[in-house]
Amino acid sequence: MKSLERMADVRIWMVVSSLVMVFASQAPQSQEAPTGFDGKSNGLVDDQTHQEDQVKFDEVEGVAEGLGPLYNAQSCAECHQNPMSGGASQITELRVGHLGPDGRFHNPDIPIARGTEIISGRTLVNDRAICPNAAFPDTEIQERVPESESIRATRMSLNLLGDGFVEAVADQSLIELARQQCKKNHGKICGLVIHVPIVESPGRAGVGRFGWKDAHASLLSFSGDAYLNEMGITNRLFPDEVTNLCNTVSEPNDAPGPDGLSDVDRFARFIRTSKAPARDAKLAETPQAKRGSVLFDKIGCEVCHVRSLTTAPAGTKINGGAFTVPPALGGKVFHPFGDFLLHDVGTGDGIVIPVIEHYGRAARQMPRECSPENFQRTRNRLRTAPLWGVRLRPRLMHDGASPTFLDAILRHRGEASKATHGFEHLSRNDQEAVIEFLRSL
């Protein structure tokens, strides 16, 4: 009797365990995101479409296409090109502002054209303009920073390769990451999450993750922003020129092609279809880099420089419903060595996210989740620099002022103090191992 009961138990156990196996095999399996610098698509579109989109990203624009009146460069690739289109570069941008009597950050007022017009609503200072020229010999609109704008910062161009995976991470995953980080580190390391408007979904917000201050959640929003603010090319998301002085081309400049896609759509698709930066596989296998990898975790670098994130499942709607995560980007594990959260590591540049510059008309109807207080809190915080591909960048940190890994590490203070002290207390050999590990990323 006893043994019969036991056999029944065994049978029930077998049924239960096989059911568990069925469910486990049906649960979506996370796959590794493709990596590489081969210029090919990550699978979201065919390679030819990816390369055609790259042609747009590389295209040098002139005055006839709407360049300027104020601008920084003539193509996206001019600033995003190392080691290939979509990578980072040494080009920095100037941002300024000042503290008001209220103790808060204020955007600059920059007079142009002999003081006849004031540029406001942005912290970016454009370095170039299309005039004076033959048509406007007396109109000089170059921006020149007034003495009173005493907060001044430069910021490096960022890597965009693999950003499609970053965009496809669910808002909730980043919110949860921030919560766990703060809890596990007893309130000493607490990445800030900010909600930002999705320009293509008016009235809707998402968790910011792009730019040094997490000013955007959507790659399409960022593309529209960059087309206007870096190149002066108005588009359906940002239809208003920064100034109309010397302007001869009607708005918006970026008209859709025969396929219905505008340049901003193609820029976003080019970034979304790029592969993630690949590691130096050979170096990563050396005993020293492997030891450095263990030490990196041990002294707490990985608290912010998070090794792995997983994207939302295919079919998930993001960007306020404007984008559905496709199978090529859904359920993918990738290794950014970053948390995409904002931290005060003692290097803050004092600049708050400028809302009109980044969200254009969408700034007029800020979604409820976008708290002005949180925007103020971006003043001395920066996004954890994702370390994927960092071996390919000779200038480090937001300002590019750290030419060596050692310099960059030793500048970390504030929330990163414990990790920096941990590094300082390592033996010379162990410090070198951590740096060797960084050289493999």
Stretch that binds ligand HEC, among 274-282, 286-294, 310-318, 412-420 (CB under 6 A): 412-420
If binding is defined by CB under 6 A, does position 329 make contact with ligand HEC?
no
Q: Minimal distance in Å, beta carbon 194 to ligand HEC? A: 13
Pick from 41, 139, 247, 384 the residue near ligand HEC by CB under 6 A. Answer: 384
Closest to ligand HEC by CB, 86 vs 330, is: 86
**Contact window for ligand HEC (CB under 6 A) among 31-39, 204-212, 236-244, 307-315:** 204-212
Backbone angles phi, psi at 32, to 5 degrees: -70, 135
Q: Contacting ligand HEC (CB under 6 A), which of 69, 409, 436, 440?
A: 409
The least distance separating ligand HEC from the CB of residue 247, rounded to whole angstroms, comes to 18
Residue 201 Rama label (left phi>0; alpha psi -120 to 50; beta)? beta
With respect to ligand HEC, which residue has the nearer C-beta, 79 or 245? 79
419 near ligand HEC (CB under 6 A): yes
397 binds ligand HEC (CB under 6 A): yes
Binding mask 170-199 for ligand HEC (x = CB under 6 A): -------------------x----------
Positions 267 through 326 that interact with ligand HEC (CB under 6 A): 267, 271, 299-301, 303-305
From the CB of 57, what's the least distance to ligand HEC, in Å? 7
Note whether 359 binds ligand HEC by CB under 6 A: no
Binding stretches for ligand HEC (CB under 6 A) = 72-73, 76, 78-80, 91, 93, 155, 157-158, 160, 163, 189, 210-213, 219, 222-223, 226-227, 230-231, 267, 271, 299-301, 303-305, 343, 345, 347, 382, 384-385, 387, 390, 393, 396-398, 405, 408-409, 412, 415-416, 419-420, 423, 434, 438
